[in-house]
Copies of this chain bind each other. A is one copy, B any other.
Amino acid sequence: MDKPYFRLTSKPVLENPIFVQGLPGVGNVGKIAANLFLKFCGAKTFAELYSPSFPDYVSVNSKGVCRLPRYEFYAAPMEKSDFIIMTGDTQPSFDDVVAHYQLCGEILDFVDKFGCNFIVTIGGVPIIEEKTQVYLAATSLRLAMEFMEKGAVIYSKGRIMGATGLMLGLAKERNLEGVCLLGATTGFKADRGAGFSVFKFLMKALGNEVKEGL
């Protein structure tokens, strides 16, 4: 394998889907929120992405079956809008920044083929005091205002690291619109509460109500 490749396992029918990305990172907030979203929507996997810039290991499940690290794409045709949800095992190794730009670019190419023109990236942001809060950055001032009115707080600390930030920046470069939602988390351990907060905010912002008991 010498470049990233997508393996399509089925061909979903989606209309101008919103692309939602939640990868491992600070407090694992992105991945947790994406998984909650998957469960809530009854989303179905339709593609996998493999890349030589992912770490050189295999994951082994509880039954001893291995597989390469990958990103997974799920399709969720819903009433108000369709979704492509991406989550994964990892992010490209920190050493290879160029590979990260390329990989994010290829993902944007991929979702573009499905007519996607809005993206949501989810991550975590470390804070000191315990506080349930969803922070926000956007590709435009109008969008930042719109999501702020829905209850998120402007993130103005300067930088959003890794795929959560990079994907939004690259989307903007292509004249796509999108927002980044960051769940406040005190720990570096997996923070299910922060993941749930972001998920709940996103659902509400997109017009769906989520019950606490999920």
Which residues of A line the B interface, CB within 8 A?
A: 1-2, 50, 52-68, 93, 95-102, 105, 136-141, 144, 148, 154-163, 165-166, 168-170, 172-173, 180
Interface centre among A66, A68, A101, A180 (most CB of B within 10 A): A66
CB distance from A161 to the nearest CB of B (A): 5
Given the known interface contacts A97-B54, A166-B57, the answer about A64 and B2 at a Cβ–Cβ threshold of 8 Å is no
- Are B56 and A161 in contact, with the CB atoms below 8 A? yes
Q: Supply 17 A–B pairs (Cβ within 8 Å), ascending by A.
A: A2-B102, A2-B105, A52-B97, A52-B102, A56-B163, A57-B159, A60-B156, A61-B156, A64-B136, A64-B138, A64-B144, A65-B139, A66-B165, A66-B172, A66-B180, A67-B172, A95-B97
Partner of A65, one of B56, B61, B100, B141: B141
